[in-house]
A and B are shown apart, each in its own frame.
Chain A
Amino acid sequence: MSQINEKEPFTKEVLKGMLKDMILIRSFEETVEKLFQEGKIHGTMHLCVGQEATAVGACLPLSDNDKITSTHRGHGHSIAKGTGIRRMMAELLGKETGYCKGKGGSMHIADLEVGNLGANGIVAAGLPLATGAALTSQMKEEGYVVVSFFGDGATNEGAFHESLNLASVWKLPVVFFCENNLYGMSGSIKEMVNIENIAERGAAYGIPGVTIDGNNVKEVAETTQQAVNRAREGKGPTLIEAQTYRWKGHSRSDAKKYRTRDEEKEWRKNKDPITRMKLELLEGNVLSEEDIAEIENEVTKEIEEAVKFAEESKEPDLDSLMTDIFA
């Protein structure tokens, strides 16, 4: 949520903030799932449980002026960029106080004030938008950088390839951040591309491509910081591929026939980004068990407040149907 000091990037305070954001994202998602099952949220939603480190790590080097574009699986990106969970929850409940006045729902949460240019229902649609936002930054010399999140599946859309090329030839200040969670909806990335790592695709457009452990939040933050620096210096885009895993099904109903329970267990047990960070902080004596318990309590409170706010908020008026169509 704020740019890190590069000489001493990971102060205790920063680390605590990162852990808290990850716990907040997970708790938000678990709550959303529960509300969906209770019928309080309708439509559909895509949860990012297991992928918290990519959102938090990638947004850490960004200031409020910097921007992101997000995806259908966007709750984590929004939270990490500083979009508030009360109005997010209200949006999911279709309320007037939601970020989109109840008109957008899960797939369209946007908060322009903190540089969140929106989730997106169209796979890979965020990349060209991010490229355009970076063009504004370049043309108006605004100095901001845009991070565009997208999944592994999105890298097979033309929009991905055309955006990388355009941003490369125009040296635009954008970071293309791929969350490779190994699957699209069901399509295994191994069957959908014929290369080892998605990051290799950067070479085709003359931009650096790096593959990193997306469940190591510090590694994500450091790599993104370098890409952000490069972008700010006018050297153009970077493609980051962060390897991670979505714990839940793709959306509301998914029998997960395309992957094994063993594979899921392996990622949950041994590669959980939150457990890993907690252990690291405890072992390094950065945080105590009590500190962590305190964070968890805070999160629980914030989530409860958000749900209460959302539930008590009013439904939009029918008149609002025909407003906001034109500026």
Chain B
Amino acid sequence: MREITYLEAIRESMSQIMRDDKNVFIMGEDIGVYGGAFGLTNGMVEEFGPFRVRNTPISEAAVSGAAVGAAMTGMRPILEFQFSDFVMIAMDNIVNQAAKNRYMFGGKAKVPVVFRLPGGSGAGFAAQHSQSLEAWMTHVPGLKIVQPSSAYDAKGLMKAAINDDNPVLFYEHKLLYSTKGEVPEEAYEINIGEAAIKRSGEDLTIVATGIMVSRSIEAAEKLADENIDVEIVDPRTLVPLDEATIIESVKKTNRVLVVYESVQRSGYGAEIASMIAESEAFDYLDAQVGRLGGKATPIPYNPKLEKAAVPQVEDIIRKVKELIGK
């Protein structure tokens, strides 16, 4: 099959839907001829014109609120943030408006909006451009949180996100943009709330999100040389969470490590870990539920420090061995 990058997969998915549905449009800073901060929207304004690929002023508060208002009245906006860190300026519109309007109005409104959020560290952009704050959003009832780890998943989940009648926060990872994978040309949808088993194994389950999926796969390949057989489950969407797939996997392997990039303390991995501990899988566990997340520090600029701030392949290997007792 044809291979394209994660970045291209997201663009292709949005473009295919925009060709079919005139209500879908995209807004963002510098998404026109500049192509956005990462070049993701390259070529889109040329195809769809500036009416549907809308360059906005640097006004995250107004534009995010406008996206919610447009969504409530019949449009299906996609809003690109240049970096997920800038969502802070849009928080009221996401948390107090988008997430709650339907419920507060007694089920009357629909808010079909997608907020695209490039997150994560590893590119040398320092503390205000490298955060992984998706756990904040998972705390808010009314928001769906999607975090694809491959080009294939990104394309299918983007279609699902746009077609969803609820606000979806779509977390992309800057380091994944250039990674390639097999992606069908035709449009397809991956259900929001469906995990994927990225590698099957017998000895231990790693539940990994975002960039940690590929790092866990690399770790698993190295561990295989030492006869440790790791299964990797990627939830792909944090809200809703496919609990059943995770529980089944843990029941099979009897050991589990949750790996995530965000600060370990209060990160989404904490939720996954407690979900497992409270589930029927608890009786199957041969070791405590393990957790490996980022250090409780802002992301530093120096590349060595930056790497040390979040889990790397070696850290995952070390933690797996700890849990297995090797």
Which positions in A face B, CB cutoff 8 Å?
42-44, 91, 94-95, 100, 102-105, 107-108, 120-124, 153-154, 156-159, 184-187, 191-193, 254, 257-258, 315-316, 318, 320-322, 325
- 4 closest cross-chain pairs (CB), A and B: A43-B124, A105-B301, A121-B128, A186-B34
CB<8 Å pairs between A and B, sample of 18: A43-B123, A43-B125, A43-B301, A44-B124, A103-B302, A105-B301, A121-B85, A121-B128, A122-B86, A154-B58, A158-B61, A184-B29, A185-B30, A185-B37, A187-B30, A257-B33, A316-B304, A318-B308
- Say yes or no for B296: interface residue by CB 8 A criterion: yes
Q: If A104-B301, A315-B302 touch, does A186 touch B126 (CB 8 Å cutoff)?
A: no
Residue from B32, B37, B128, B309 within 8 A of A321 (CB atoms) = B309
Cβ contact within 8 Å between B128 and A122 = yes
Mark contacts of B76-110 with chain A using CB atoms, 8 A cut-off: 1 yes-contact digit, 0 otherwise: 00000010011001000000000000000000000
Which positions in B face A, CB cutoff 8 Å?
29-30, 32-34, 37, 55, 57-62, 82, 85-86, 89, 123-129, 295-298, 300-305, 308-309
A-B contact count (CB 8 A): 120
Q: Which A residues are in CB contact (< 8 Å) with B123?
A: 43
Residue from A95, A103, A254 within 8 A of B300 (CB atoms) = A103
Least Cβ distance of B31 to chain A in Å?
9
Cβ contact within 8 Å between A105 and B126 = yes
Least Cβ distance of A179 to chain B in Å?
14
Q: Which A residues are in CB contact (< 8 Å) with B30?
A: 184-187
Chain B facing A: main interface SS: loop
Report the separation of the CA atoms of residues A108 and B55 in the bound assembly, to the nearest whole angstrom.
27
Report the separation of the CA atoms of residues A185 and B301 in the bound assembly, to the nearest whole angstrom.
22
Residue from A107, A123, A257, A321 within 8 A of B305 (CB atoms) = A321
Residue from A102, A257, A322 within 8 A of B302 (CB atoms) = A102
Q: Which B residues are in CB contact (< 8 Å) with A124?
A: 58
Q: If A185-B30, A187-B29 touch, does A103 touch B305 (CB 8 Å cutoff)?
A: yes
Q: Which A residues are in CB contact (< 8 Å) with B34?
A: 185-186, 254, 257-258
Q: If A158-B89, A325-B296 touch, does A185 touch B126 (CB 8 Å cutoff)?
A: no
Cβ contact within 8 Å between A42 and B124 = yes
- A121-B129, A156-B58 given. 13 additional CB < 8 A pairs? A44-B124, A102-B305, A103-B305, A104-B126, A121-B85, A121-B126, A121-B127, A122-B128, A185-B37, A187-B58, A315-B304, A318-B305, A320-B305
Q: Which A residues are in CB contact (< 8 Å) with B29?
A: 184-185, 187
Closest B residue to A189 using CB positions: B57
Q: Which A residues are in CB contact (< 8 Å) with B295?
A: 321-322
Cβ contact within 8 Å between A108 and B37 = no
Residue from A94, A121, A187 within 8 A of B57 (CB atoms) = A187
Closest A residue to B83 using CB positions: A121
Least Cβ distance of B320 to chain A in Å?
22
Report the separation of the CA atoms of residues A37 and B246 in the bound assembly, to the nearest whole angstrom.
45
Least Cβ distance of B128 to chain A in Å?
3
Report the separation of the CA atoms of residues A123 and B58 in the bound assembly, to the nearest whole angstrom.
8
Cβ contact within 8 Å between B309 and A107 = no
Residue from B55, B296, B305 within 8 A of A316 (CB atoms) = B305
Q: If A43-B126, A105-B124, A157-B89 touch, does A186 touch B33 (CB 8 Å cutoff)?
A: yes
Q: Which A residues are in CB contact (< 8 Å) with B303?
A: 42, 94
Closest B residue to A120 using CB positions: B128
Q: Which B residues are in CB contact (< 8 Å) with A321?
A: 295, 297, 300, 305, 308-309
